[in-house]
Amino acid sequence: MARLRLNQEYRNKIANRMRVHLEQENTQERESFYQMRENMKPLQDKTWTLAKEIVGRHYTPEDIKMAYHLQNKFENVDTIAKDSCFHFGYQGQVEDRDNEDNIVMKDKYIESHFDFKLNGNINGQEHNRQNDFAYAMYRDELKGREGCNPDINIEQKDNQSNPYWTKVDDANEKYLGLNSSRSNENHTSFSREWNNDYVLDLIGREYCRDRSIACNENEYAILMTWQSAKGKLINAHEKWILSVIGQVGKIKTWLKSWKYLDEALEFCAKANCPIEESEIIRCNSTGLAIFNPQNCADYLESMKNKSVSREQKILARLKYNKEQSTQ
């Protein structure tokens, strides 16, 4: 029976199938991401309890009751609203220099903006909302949704101004309910369910009620730890997916060097992702370097940050390089 030649369609199918496999592998990057995500909601709930205590000291239940009374009584009074973000701060000290360039400590009011919404900021800037945290928290839900891609910001990191990115980002926002104007279109509204857990009555004139609420230094440090954890989750998501993308890039290079489908399928089997020929056919140039399927599978294994020693990874890489030199 004649050997089937690889074409671009087959190469794309194999690469996509391998990516699914790579994302399911239990690597350190993947484990780190899932562990951080699992801990995120309990940490946010605990930090929210602290935030309520801080706000409650500043605006007592009696204050809130009186503010609602006045707002309901007079049409021109708009002094209270529900919100999920706050400016917290304390009177502390920062290092400075005097006129003779000596180190001195200077009194300064230290504050930051803390946003508990699903698309809230992670850097303390009130008007710097982003979706990376939401995409990390609800990656599994987005991954199974047609037209959505929770990894889009990572894949398009240096090119987030193109029609494809815009289309996918809009689909993600719509499905999660991140865009308030579209939230009613989404019956699940993950964003609404998340945000409803973090709402307080605040007295003031504008969003975040236009002023900083005093806390102590220890409370501020706890809030910063939570805010930092959001950023670390985003970084863990990016590190994991970049690892997968790097491996898929290598696979695509190798696929271009093979002429026949059975060569590619041999590699997949040796890389612990067996694919039936019928699976590729049913679903819908010769490179200068010729790669041996077994060597490629060994090299791919060496790219993963699994629970193996640094020495083992070095040996795997040296073995690959040595065998390549004898081709």
pLDDT in tens, 106-119: 999 999 999 999 99
Examine the pLDDT at 187 and tell me if it is beyond 90: no
End position of a domain, from candidates 184, 212, 232: 232
3-state secondary structure of 98: coil
Higher pLDDT, 125 or 27: 27
Are 150 and 251 members of one domain? no
For the stretch 246-303, pLDDT in tens is 999 999 999 999 999 999 999 999 999 999 998 888 755 323 344 567 666 766 776 6
State percent of the chain over pLDDT 70.
80
Are 47 and 16 members of one domain? no
How far apart are alpha carbons 215 and 44 in whole angstroms?
18
Q: Is residue 281 part of a domain?
A: yes
Question: According to the model, what pLDDT value does residue 309 have?
Answer: 54
Evaluate whether 122 touches 234 at the Cβ level (below 8 Å).
yes
For the ranges 66-80, 143-157, 272-286, 291-305, the one whose mean pLDDT is highest:
143-157
Question: According to the model, what pLDDT value does residue 81 have?
Answer: 84
Query: Tokens for 55?
Result: 């706000």
For the ranges 70-84, 162-176, 305-319, the one whose mean pLDDT is highest:
162-176
Question: According to the model, what pLDDT value does residue 278 have?
Answer: 87
Taking alpha carbons only, the member of 6, 3, 13 closest to residue 259 is 6
Are 121 and 53 members of one domain? yes
Question: According to the model, what pLDDT value does residue 289 have?
Answer: 40
Confidence (pTM) = 0.81
Are 41 and 184 members of one domain? yes
How far apart are alpha carbons 235 and 29 in whole angstroms?
10
Examine the pLDDT at 29 and tell me if it is beyond 80: yes
End position of a domain, from candidates 178, 204, 232: 232
Q: Is residue 70 part of a domain?
A: yes
Are 219 and 183 members of one domain? yes
Examine the pLDDT at 169 and tell me if it is beyond 60: yes
CA torsion sign for 56, 62, 63, 64 is positive
For the stretch 99-108, pLDDT in tens is 888 888 899 9
Examine the pLDDT at 82 and tell me if it is beyond 90: no
How many domains is the chain built from?
2
Examine the pLDDT at 35 and tell me if it is beyond 50: yes
Query: Tokens for 40?
Result: 């995120």
Q: How do beta strands 80-83 and 200-203 pair?
A: antiparallel
Interacting residues of 27 by C-beta distance below 8 A, sequence separation 6+: 240, 243, 304, 305, 306
- Stated length of the chain: 327
